[in-house]
Structure 1
Amino acid sequence: KPIGIYWLQSAAVALSGEGAEAPIWVYRLVSALGIAIAVVATAWTGANLFGANAGLVAGLVMAAIFATAFEGRDAKTDAMLLACCVIAQGALAQIYTSSRRNEAVGSHLPWIFWVAQGAAILIKGPIAPLLSALTVAVLFAFERDWRWLSKLKAGRGLALVLLIILPWLVLITWKSGGTFLQQAVGKDMLGKVAQGEESHGLPPGFYVLTYSLFMWPFGLIAVGAGLQALNRLREDPRLRFCLAWYIPFWLLFELIPTKLPHYVLPAYPGMALMVGWLLTLKPQDANAPLQRWQTWLWWATAFGLALVTTGLAVLCIAAPLYFAGTFSWSSIPAALAALGAGYLGFSRQLQVRLGRIGAIAICAGTTYALLFGVIAPSLKPIWMSREIEAAVRANRPCETTVLASAGYHEPSLVFLVGTKTILTNVDGTAQHLLVDPACALALAPVGDEKRLDGLLAGQGRAANRVARIDGVNYSSGEKMSLGLYRIIN
């Protein structure tokens, strides 16, 4: 990945004063900040397009959906990428709508757009430029008019983007001998486009099926607003922009074989803005009858809302029972809050008033706070990396001990045990033990213990299992039993 997120996380670590010992939550602060910026930028865009109340609603929607609640709690690129995308698109929206009204474009807007694009490239490559390019292309296809793009000051803007990204790009290309670009562009990006990468190759339709989860609890309200906006597409350029923000980006990622839920996150603010817009209409206009196919789509989304709401409520109660074998009293208010959010999110009237939007956001926020802050941390079996780190610390024979791990390759393991950790297979763990028999440790599935013993016996060595860790791999849901091994002297 590009350097931007590492710079930001390094800054967070430096500010924490913890240095290399900083806990993982310090790194996650960058994601929390990214979501906060995205929420404010969505509200800013909505206020400029549709008025203050609409902006407030759009911001509340973005703050309370499951996608942002999840992404704001991990230490990845996507939350800060979302922030850059919303800032860039917000500036682009104001340039476009001002031009359509023959009004003067604020001189600051082009520079906001280009700085956001440069920052986004440093965080996750060309995703933000792709989003804006698709938006512009669809608007042109609809209107056949490029003239408003002159307000972007593209020449100076592109020069600014190059000024932002080129120093690092030149240095990393020189330092890596071109390997970085080969990996980042050739393998990571183009590989995902050409075929399913990271074991996440899925057919088109994945984002339709997961929409109700990642836009929960506002998925149904957003669909209703989006359908009404679609019916008024020709009347209002602001709605054209919002639809051009969401639809082409979503369709493109449906066609790309590699699919992960967060890939379409930059499109969601377009839907949130339309929820805010619907609030500005008279009730009789906002609740105008939908076409037949739209009604079917609305009811399908309502079913998705009910399914996800029920699933989250059950998860809050069942997860501690299944994984930890105990009942958590936090499960009851979490489940009730989830049911409340789902109930309020189901409205036969397409237009939902501000007070109800706020109540939905409060219920959803309560669910997330209890689910992510209390229930999930109590599920000891899914936090295998913590148990492995404790076992390594208790059985480390040397200060220089390095762990080789087979069958468990989670990033959290490397973070907790150390960046020298070797991710390999059973053969690799055997070789690791043989190379440094006095100090090395190996982690392997207990089911592969005989194979490990055989590989070592062939070299006249034997290993002793010094610890056993049982749990569930949270990435795959697979139950695992791992052994920690060292050579017997």
Structure 2
Amino acid sequence: MSVTGPRGTAGRLGALQQLLLVVLCLFAFLPGISTLPPTDRDESRFVQATKQMVASGDYVDIRFQDEPRYKKPAGIYWLQSAALAVTGQGADAPIWAYRLVSVLAATIAVLATARLGAALFGPLAGLIAGTALAGIVMLLFEGRIAKTDATLLATAVVAQAALARVYLTARGRLEPSAAAPWVFWAALGASILIKGPVVPALSALTVASLSLFDRDRAWLKGLRVGRGVLLMLAIAAPWLLLITWKSGAEFWQESLGKDFISKVGSGQESHGFPPGYYAAIYVLFLFPFAPLALRSGLKALNRRRADPALLFLVCWYVPYWLMIELIPTKLPHYALPAYPAILLAMSWALTDATAQADDLPRWQVWLWRLTLAGFALVALALAAISVGATPYLTGAFSVWGLLAAVLLLAAAWFGSGLRAGAGFRTAVLPATLASAAAFAVLTVAVVPGLKPVWLSPQLADTFARVKTCPESRLIAVGYHEPSLVFLTATNTLLTDAADAAAQLAANPDCTIAMIDERAMERFAAALPGGLAGVEEVGAVEGINYSKGTKRFLRFFRMKP
């Protein structure tokens, strides 16, 4: 396959270009993975379940303490377990070892996006798309957190890239690839093990939309559906069968009934929002490229009938976006699998001379202006938070916060596309470097220092200091965040005041009770002899950011 220009039939990134993208990804995603404390609640639930999986040697059943955790399949826990093994860490590994999976997955997503962009619109476009993906707020966050979403993105981009290869080969746009259909189905199988039906739904919507707009389904033969589905099932089905054998119907009731269907049918876990939510948060999570990407996406939408590659990107982004807008349960990361499509459209618009000359209809111009106004507000808000968070929470000024603010404003200026002659070196690369540098400063030097919001590390340190024997157990009342369990011990008991008093009385030598100030009366009433029989050995005050409430937690042990 030869390297051609941006409107050629194919292109390929060179080895040096891909290596530079890998270096960029390491700069974007590695800083902060060891300094940022475990976050609540999803990340800490994932890593604690992996910790227990490694400690127990049971790689089929998934548990958080004694409770089954069947909302997601086992794929992410296996990958995190493999990361612990590769790094030589065991069940007590620090948080950075678990986060390496997301760093690697985000890097794969960037490379796959860049390779697809090169194939569709030329090597320069590929560099633009991959570089831009590495710089957006959403992936800068998910790429350094030990959750499923960066890994899911990697499977989504690989699947969609293979699907694009099959579709555009049939349209005479790309050269044939015998491996493409098998890569597509294998990626779908892997995605099911990560997060169930999300990526299959994305690809199904893309296929259905392409078939509808093209009015031609002959290209579907290239997907090798019969044998491809068998490959997908060969990857995903063994664990599904094992967990069904082990749990009976409980896994399916939890994952499909309580998790998937409830998200589709109603707003789950206080995350219900009306349609328009993802349009509203677009300017934040696609920062710093939101206005430029939107303008490019609109041009691609207008040109979709003239170029099957642009039609593919439209059918990737728009139907999936409409689907998640209609689902009542909404979380910001749900939109992540769609973002590569609009960034690929941006790479086309920045490298195609005819696209740069395109004028938008009036309503699209006003939409772009509205987006630009929202983007400006977001940039200023991010800068203000970077500067003001440390003084507000700790009373001290942080020069690192000021540096992060300057970098964020620079990223916004370069990434907005307002400068004349916006391109790879003049807009995309400097915007990504500034955005990634800002996140590095924030996650290494600013956010970890906001101690009032990091209650769990302080509580774990206090417990380690005051416990009376190596096997001491922490009994927690009024603060039940998963990060506390991960940072202390799997047997940490999250309970109420009466049970805490009973546990402390039953094992006075090796039990520490941690009581929220609001539960003190109930705790004292349940203790034999009241507070006279215990001694306070420590206290921590701060903010539970998961609930947005202040907490004052006191540590007690029985008097000798």
TM (normalized to structure 1)? 0.95
User: Could you say if the C-alpha distance between residues 206 and 101 of structure 1 is closer, same or farther in structure 2, counting changes exceeding 3 Å?
Assistant: same
**2:378 is matched with which residue?**
308
Cα distance in 2, alignment partners of residues 252 and 428 from structure 1: 45
Partners of 1:287 and 1:350 within 8 A in 2: no
* Larger RCO (CA within 8 A; separation ≥ 6): 2
Cα deviation per residue 1:230-286 (whole Å; 9 max; x = unaligned)?
11121111111111111111111111121111111111101110011102321x642
Cα distance in 2, alignment partners of residues 352 and 187 from structure 1: 47
Q: Does 1:166 align with 2:237?
A: yes
Cα deviation per residue 1:3-55 (whole Å; 9 max; x = unaligned)?
11111111111111121221101100101111100000000111111111111
Partners of 1:111 and 1:157 within 8 A in 2: yes
**2:415 is matched with which residue?**
345
Q: Where does the alignment leave 5 or more consecutive residues of structure 2 unmatched?
A: 1-71
Cα deviation per residue 1:399-449 (whole Å; 9 max; x = unaligned)?
333323233232221111112223334444345435544433333321221
**1:44 is matched with which residue?**
115
Shift of 1:198: 2.3
SS of the aligned residue for 1:330 comes to helix
Q: Does 1:5 align with 2:101?
A: no
**1:415 is matched with which residue?**
486
Partners of 2:110 and 2:133 within 8 A in 1: yes
Shift of 1:304: 1.8
Partners of 1:287 and 1:349 within 8 A in 2: no
User: Could you say if the C-alpha distance between residues 133 and 461 of structure 1 is closer, same or farther in structure 2, counting changes exceeding 3 Å?
Assistant: farther
Match of 1:231 among 302, 314, 319: 302
Shift of 1:136: 0.9
Q: Does 1:299 align with 2:369?
A: yes
- Name the amino acid aligned to 1:408: Y
Alignment of 1:137-152 (within 5 A): 137-152=208-223
Match of 2:322 among 242, 248, 251: 251
Identity of aligned residues (%): 47
Q: Does 1:336 align with 2:437?
A: no
User: Could you say if the C-alpha distance between residues 249 and 447 of structure 1 is closer, same or farther in structure 2, counting changes exceeding 3 Å?
Assistant: same
Q: Where does the alignment leave 5 or more consecutive residues of structure 1 unmatched?
A: none
Cα distance in 2, alignment partners of residues 390 and 185 from structure 1: 38
**1:220 is matched with which residue?**
291
Shift of 1:488: 4.5
Match of 2:247 among 149, 152, 176: 176
**2:424 is matched with which residue?**
354
Alignment of 1:81-160 (within 5 A): 81-101=152-172, 105-160=176-231
Cα deviation per residue 1:373-405 (whole Å; 9 max; x = unaligned)?
211112122221111111111222333333232
**1:260 is matched with which residue?**
331
Shift of 1:124: 0.9
Cα distance in 2, alignment partners of residues 203 and 258 from structure 1: 9
Shift of 1:156: 1.0
Match of 2:512 among 441, 454, 479: 441
**2:12 is matched with which residue?**
none
Cα distance in 2, alignment partners of residues 336 and 9 from structure 1: 35
For this pair of structures, how many residues does the alignment match? 488
SS of the aligned residue for 2:351 comes to coil
- Name the amino acid aligned to 2:167: Y
Alignment of 1:201-212 (within 5 A): 201-212=272-283
- Between 1:158-167 and 1:419-428, the stretch displaced more is 419-428
Q: Does 1:240 align with 2:240?
A: no
- Name the amino acid aligned to 2:238: P
Cα distance in 2, alignment partners of residues 435 and 185 from structure 1: 41
Cα deviation per residue 1:45-84 (whole Å; 9 max; x = unaligned)?
1111111111110001100000000001111111111000
User: Could you say if the C-alpha distance between residues 241 and 185 of structure 1 is closer, same or farther in structure 2, counting changes exceeding 3 Å?
Assistant: same
Cα distance in 2, alignment partners of residues 201 and 429 from structure 1: 34
**RMSD between aligned alpha carbons?**
2.0
**1:21 is matched with which residue?**
92
User: Could you say if the C-alpha distance between residues 112 and 34 of structure 1 is closer, same or farther in structure 2, counting changes exceeding 3 Å?
Assistant: same
Shift of 1:146: 1.6
- Between 1:190-199 and 1:229-238, the stretch displaced more is 190-199
Cα distance in 2, alignment partners of residues 243 and 351 from structure 1: 25
